[in-house]
Copies of this chain bind each other. A is one copy, B any other.
Amino acid sequence: MRIADIGGEFALIERLCAHAPAKHKDLLAGIGDDAAVIGGIQADGSYLLVTTDMLVENSHFKRDWATAEQIGIKSVVCNVSDIAAMGGTPTFMFVSLALPPETQVEWAESLYRGMGRACRRYGVTLAGGDTTHGAAVTISITLLGRVVPENLCLRSHARPGDLLCVTGPVGTAAAGLAMMSAGLETPDQLKEKHLTPGCRLDVGPAIAPLAHAMIDISDGLAAEVNHICKQSKTGAEIVAADIPLHPLAVEAARQTGKDPLAFALSGGEDFELLFSITPQDRQQLERRGIDVVTVGKVADAAAGILLRLPDGKCQVLAGGYNHFS
């Protein structure tokens, strides 16, 4: 049976994890959130966070399109984003790296220069790793972090009545990728958003004490809303007209003949945060000058997970990136 036949990545993960012991009294959240949460061991009462992400050449990046430094930056950012999505701050990083034997030392050094830049930006210390050979460049990063209990945001904590908000425009990275894939001249801003995205560690810790559930948008808004609803056992309604799109993404959609909404819903790697919050706490955020956009609301599970279109009609909110579809 092929992986696509059972429904792809997430069905696979569920099957695989059934075979290994995955429960422990200190493991407050394990498989299925942006990072694992380990409690009960840290001296200051904070929780240890651990996230891991693997980037494979030609699946996640192309050496023709991105410089080594850009690949290095992105490989760190996608992990920092996972820690930010838990409400935490990153600490120590471990890099496992497979390189083809013919790799130029200078290329590998640039990769680490990019990682180093991102580490300095986000306060991360490189603490170890493994370097080995393989046919394709493969970068596997594990990042530790910490979060105080009152800031922890699990995917499973959304409640009916919460608003669903995002920290900025979504679909911009996908718009950049679409233009580059079509061989069109791509505005620098879109290219950068795809090749060297930032992440929202700047606002994550401020949102965290007020938010219920939080997740980073790495697989598209539709997938992330579904993750939150599935784990919180809720429904949701997203209002298409309220989803913030970058003007350049709209223009990219026009030029590539695509729907800009599809970039937002199914295109990943914007690394904005999606979170659920009560309307009152949403106002608090605004008073504190934290700029977010409401895109919908959490509903009872029975209501389903819906997308309200500009014509007022609703459809099931499906989609999102799947590694094995």
Q: A residues bordering B, Cβ < 8 Å?
A: 1-6, 9, 12-13, 15-17, 19-24, 27, 30-31, 33, 35-36, 38, 40-44, 48, 50-54, 56-60, 92, 94-99, 101-106, 108-109, 111-113, 115-116, 119-120, 124-136, 138, 140, 142, 144, 146, 323-324
Contacts and interface: CB of A to CB of B under 8 A. Distances in A.
Contacts of A112: 16-17, 19-20
Given A30-B128, A144-B50, A138 B108 contact: no
10 contacts: A52-B96, A52-B128, A52-B129, A52-B130, A54-B96, A59-B98, A96-B142, A101-B324, A135-B136, A140-B140
A99 B59 CA distance: 11
Q: How many copies does the complex hold?
A: 2
A136 B133 contact: no
Contact of A56 (B38, B40, B41, B133): B133
Given A52-B94, A56-B134, A97-B54, A126 B21 contact: yes
A101 B136 contact: no
Contact of A3 (B44, B60, B105): B105
A54 B128 CA distance: 13
A132 B60 contact: yes
A2 B142 contact: no
A220 to B, nearest CB: 16
B133 A27 contact: no
Contacts of A324: 99, 101, 133
A230 B82 CA distance: 38
Contacts of A56: 98, 132-135, 138
Contact of A136 (B51, B99, B134): B134
Nearest to A51: B128
Contacts of A36: 92, 94, 127-128
B12 A131 contact: yes
Contacts of A30: 125-128
A50 B104 CA distance: 29
Contact of A92 (B24, B54, B128, B135): B24
A73 to B, nearest CB: 12
Contact of A105 (B1, B41, B115): B1
Contacts of A38: 92, 127
A101 B59 CA distance: 11
B135 A105 contact: no
